Structure 1
Amino acid sequence: MPISQSFPSRTLGSVNGGLQVSALGLGCMGMSEFYGARDDTQSMETLNRALDLGISLLDTADTYGLGHNEKLISRLITERGRDAMTIATKFGIQREKGLYARDLNNDPAYVRSACEASLKRLGTDRIDLFYIHRVAANRPIEEPMGELAKLVAEGKILHIGICEVGTETLRRAHAVHPITALQSEYSLWTRDPEDGVLAMCRELAIGFVPYSPLGRGFLTGQMTTTDDLDDDDFRRAHPRFAEGNFQNNLAIVTHVKQLAKEKDCTAAQVALAWVLAQGKDIVPIPGTKRIPYLEENARALDVTLTTADLERLDRLVPSGAAHGERYTAEGMKGVNV
């Protein structure tokens, strides 16, 4: 897909030469739910600005707003044309409207029906990157992968992705059909992929797409209390934002902000620069629904962290530094399978 000549690109995976994408993607989930009230006009302005900047990898899922997010992307396709963007979407999480509780479904028949439904909502004939959003532990990974391979052969999806899996599951899935990208949470306060998964991705030539690279906004340094969050913001129930954990985690932000001050940039840009510096096969997808934050994130590519800077952050914010679990027990369904 075309990328602005002024915006760098990276390559995910090696299937058919890999999938070339903008070096930074845009996570679109918050445009539909979880992070307070949605504003479609504001979101469309942000999506258009992303394409103008050269950020063309758009990450969505059928469960975001229960289809709303994909329909939002379809409006962008109508305005800008299909070839202006690279669309990544996902299947596998089933929820009822207004509820966070979820079931995981990897049944092959559901794989196909979910793909067809996403194609219809998006208003396109192909999905560039189709992820298994969460792996159901009660079904062999070979079953959904077999159906995804058929969808590739039919041209309905161009690349296969998988989310939040361990090394054994990743290897088994890749043996059925090459995986182009693994998407998992990864940031200065979530270092789980360093326990073998990143190494496995490199062994198998699989790209890595970190979501929540800004720690759900915490690492931006803009938050001092959860009282600033909307009543329906899911972070109010997030373990790392809970009373006690929130205050302890502010120490992490202090270190990031200090380095940002020395670099004459923002804490968000340091946090993103850290993720980007972990390898050229890594493409973070920070989410936002506001243009100023989008532009701030894009400028993280101009921030250079030296070896000394990276060593300093590793020392001050080591793996496991964050207080609290990554999700509630419900949210952890299908994580690190």
Structure 2
Amino acid sequence: MKARKLGEGGPEVPALGVGAMSFSDFYGPTTEENSHAVLRAAFEAGIRHIDTSNVYGMGRSEEAIGAFLREVPQAREQFVIATKAGIVPGPKRRFDNSPEHLVSELEGSLGRLGVEAVDLFYVHRRDQSIPIEEVAGTLGEIVRSGKAKAVGFSEIAPSSLRRAHAVFPVAAVQSEYSLSTRAPELGLVQTCAELGVALVAFAPVGRSLLTDHPLPLEVAQGLGFLKQNPRFMEPNYAANIAVTDRLRALAREMGEPTAALAIAWVLSRGEHVHAIPGTRSVAHFRELLRGAELELSDADLAAIEAALPVGWAHGDRYSEAQWVGPERYC
């Protein structure tokens, strides 16, 4: 399996990690038992990068991971655990990157995870009222305190990354990146490569659109995030299913799961690119794992691009409300 560094001086991990948003009910009901089954399958397969956040299920995702680490102590020695803070829950979406908030939330995460330090601590969303240089300084102090080994940002612009990295080394930037969301190619992929920063791609299978079994419309409409997401609203949803059927047909011809093609494509974008898909299913996890093992030829990549050329998706990746927080840069 491909192994890549999480930042210039960071640990070397398999290029595929586990995104633990699915350990809450974000994409549908789940249980701690299901989450542990996925973690166990990941551990046995040699996957080491586990990504979570304080707001995934309001701590539920971190608690599930912490319980697994207590059950399987050797996993703590081998897992590279990332978490995030900076989003303030409430009826009105807001963000807090102050030292007091970030340190307090990280301490809560450490308690739920049952660890003394995380391997990677992200600012989940930028608080535009605080210069990013000050936030980078805060992250540096957190590393020096021993509570995090490295730091990163989620959903920031390349220009913001350069400003932060000039103050304190940024190990990773997390961004949505897939065959359905290719904006990172307009500067973020390149800037991360130049600075030696890992680009960690979340939603690499397009929130199920790039799989053999996309979420049915009626299921998506029962989920808080997806029912407001333009790509999962009609008429966009039907159009997106019709277009992605071309990728499913190609996957059948190649004898591979569609999700495996989507993961392999993301990982082909650069040696600094990682993918952290989420799942509630061990069977689906094995399809994702196949993507990390799959070597795509130039002909394979050309066929994938022909099936899903840049700009194929119907609808924006976020609604107006969901766009509050991520930095737009193109």
Kept after mapping to 1: 8 A contact 2:199/2:272: yes
- Alignment pair present for 1:236 and 2:227: yes
CA distance in 1, matches of 2:297, 2:250: 11
Q: Could you tell me which of 71, 81, 88 is aligned with 1:87?
A: 81
Counterpart in the other structure of 2:6: 12
Kept after mapping to 2: 8 A contact 1:208/1:281: yes
Secondary structure of the corresponding residue to residue 88 of structure 1: strand
Q: Could you tell me which of 100, 104, 109 is aligned with 1:113?
A: 104
Counterpart in the other structure of 1:41: 33
Q: Could you tell me which of 174, 187, 190 is aligned with 1:199?
A: 190
- Alignment pair present for 1:72 and 2:64: yes
How far off its partner does 1:233 sit? 5.1
CA distance in 2, matches of 1:230, 1:336: 26
- Alignment pair present for 1:263 and 2:283: no
CA deviation string 1:4-39 (max 9, x = no partner): xxx442112113xx2212220001101112112221
Secondary structure of the corresponding residue to residue 44 of structure 2: helix
How far off its partner does 1:125 sit? 0.6
The two structures have a TM-score, normalised by structure 2, of 0.94
Cα-Cα RMSD: 1.6
What amino acid sits opposite 1:236 in the alignment?
K
CA distance in 1, matches of 2:11, 2:32: 29
Kept after mapping to 2: 8 A contact 1:58/1:85: yes
Structure 1 unpaired stretches of 5+: 1-6
Identity between Structure 1 and Structure 2 (%)? 39
Kept after mapping to 2: 8 A contact 1:56/1:85: yes
Secondary structure of the corresponding residue to residue 256 of structure 1: helix
The two structures have a TM-score, normalised by structure 1, of 0.92
Counterpart in the other structure of 2:177: 186
CA distance in 2, matches of 1:262, 1:302: 18
Kept after mapping to 2: 8 A contact 1:36/1:230: no
Counterpart in the other structure of 1:3: none
Counterpart in the other structure of 1:245: 236
Question: What stretches of structure 1 move > 3 A for 4+ residues in a row?
Answer: none
Per the alignment, do residues 53 and 233 of structure 1 end up closer, same or farther by CA in structure 2, a change over 3 Å counting?
Answer: farther
Q: Could you tell me which of 212, 216, 241 is aligned with 2:207?
A: 216
Kept after mapping to 1: 8 A contact 2:208/2:215: no
Per the alignment, do residues 253 and 62 of structure 1 end up closer, same or farther by CA in structure 2, a change over 3 Å counting?
Answer: same
Kept after mapping to 1: 8 A contact 2:23/2:60: no
Structure 2 unpaired stretches of 5+: none
Secondary structure of the corresponding residue to residue 157 of structure 1: coil
Query: How many equivalent residue pairs?
Result: 326
- Alignment pair present for 1:24 and 2:19: no
CA distance in 2, matches of 1:74, 1:196: 36
CA deviation string 1:113-157 (max 9, x = no partner): 111111111111111010111112222111221111011112110
